[in-house]
Amino acid sequence: MTVGEQFYIRVYNAVDSIISNSGTIARLGITATGTAILTQVVVTAISYSLDLYRGDITVEEYKNLVLEAVKTAGIATPIVFLLLVAVLALFPEFTVVLSAPVVVAGFNALFGMSIAMPIIQSLLRHVQAGGFGMETETADAYRNQLGDSTPV
C-alpha cells in the first residue's frame, strides 16, 4: 500500500467517524462553547467590577468588556473545538497522548491560571488605586507596629 493510499484511508475513516458521530460531536461542541462563554463572562465581570466600583470605567465600558469576552469565546471555542475534532479524527493516536494524566494536569493548571490571572490583576489595580481601605486606621496601626509612623 502506498503512502497516498494510506493517507486516503485515514482521511476516509476520519470523515466517516465525524459523520457517524456528528450528533454527539455537535452536543459536545455546544456544551463546550456555552461553558467557555459563561466562564469568560464571569471572569470578565469579576475582573472589572472593582474598576467599575472605583469609577475607573463606565457602565457602558463594563458592558462592552463583557460583550467582547462573549464574542471572543463564542468565536474561538467552536473553531478550536472543530480543529481538535478534526485532528483527533485524522490522528487518533493523539487521543492517548492528550489523555495522559500529566497533560490533563497541565491543561487544568493553564485553565486555572487563565481564570486566576485577570482576577489577581484586578485586585492589584484596586490596591494600587488605594482600594481596600489602604488609608484606614488598620493600615496606620500596622505601619506603627512595624515602626514606621508614616501614614499609608
SS3 110: helix
pLDDT at 115: 87
User: Is residue 56 a contact partner of residue 122, using CB atoms and an 8 Å limit?
Assistant: no
Low-confidence ranges of the chain (pLDDT < 70): 132-152
Residue range 26-43, pLDDT digits in tens: 999 999 999 999 999 999
pLDDT value at position 74? 94
Rounded to the nearest 10 degrees, how much is the dihedral formed by the CA atoms of 115, 118, 119, 120? 110
Q: What are phi and psi of 117, to 5 degrees?
A: -60, -45
User: Taking phi first (over 0 means left), then psi (-120 to 50 degrees means alpha), and beta for anything else, what does residue 131 get?
Assistant: beta
- Confidence (pTM): 0.70
Span 44-69, pLDDT tens digits: 999 999 899 888 899 999 999 999 99
